[in-house]
């Protein structure tokens, strides 16, 4: 089945998302955020190493630059963590919906004349 939601409160046509699409989106998000996180970590390590090498950059300038870059890097890392949490929530939602569908199917006891 999947998640069905109206695209607009007045809209008579629902929008439906299959469990496959939900899981596919979550998997793609996890793959992309994993790649981006690895690239970010590698690049940040190179920048940090260069800035903290006294032969490359004057320590006074390095402190000024790091004061600007560290919060940016932390916010970017927090964004990656948020995207990872979102993908995990999508997987959990798909599992919940699938479990609910199965529970409903398992608990349905058709009565005489009302069998599907």
Element (H, E) at 6: strand 3-6
pLDDT tens digits, 66-114: 999 999 999 999 999 999 999 999 999 999 988 887 788 777 766 666 6
Enumerate the domain spans of the chain.
24-94
Average pLDDT in the chain? 87
pLDDT of residue 16: 76
Please list, residue by residue across 40-56, b when 16 or more beta carbons sit within 10 angstroms of its beta carbon and e when fewer do.
Answer: beeebeeeeeebeeeee
pLDDT of residue 89: 97
pTM over 0.85: no
- Please state, in angstroms and rounded to a whole number, the distance separating the CA atoms of residues 116 and 104: 13
Say if residues 87 and 29 touch (Cβ distance below 8 Å).
yes
């Amino acid at each position: 089945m999947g998640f069905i939601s109206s695209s607009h409160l007045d809209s008579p046509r629902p929008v439906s998302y299959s469990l496959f699409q939900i899981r596919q989106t979550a998997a793609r998000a996890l793959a992309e955020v994993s790649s981006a996180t690895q690239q970010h970590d590698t690049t940040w390590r190179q920048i940090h190493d260069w800035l903290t090498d006294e032969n490359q950059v004057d320590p006074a300038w390095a402190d000024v630059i790091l004061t600007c870059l560290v919060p940016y890097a932390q916010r970017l890392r927090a964004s990656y963590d948020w995207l990872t949490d979102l993908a995990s929530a999508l997987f959990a939602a798909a599992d919940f919906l699938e479990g609910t569908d199965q529970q409903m199917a398992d608990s349905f006891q058709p009565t005489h004349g009302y069998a599907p």
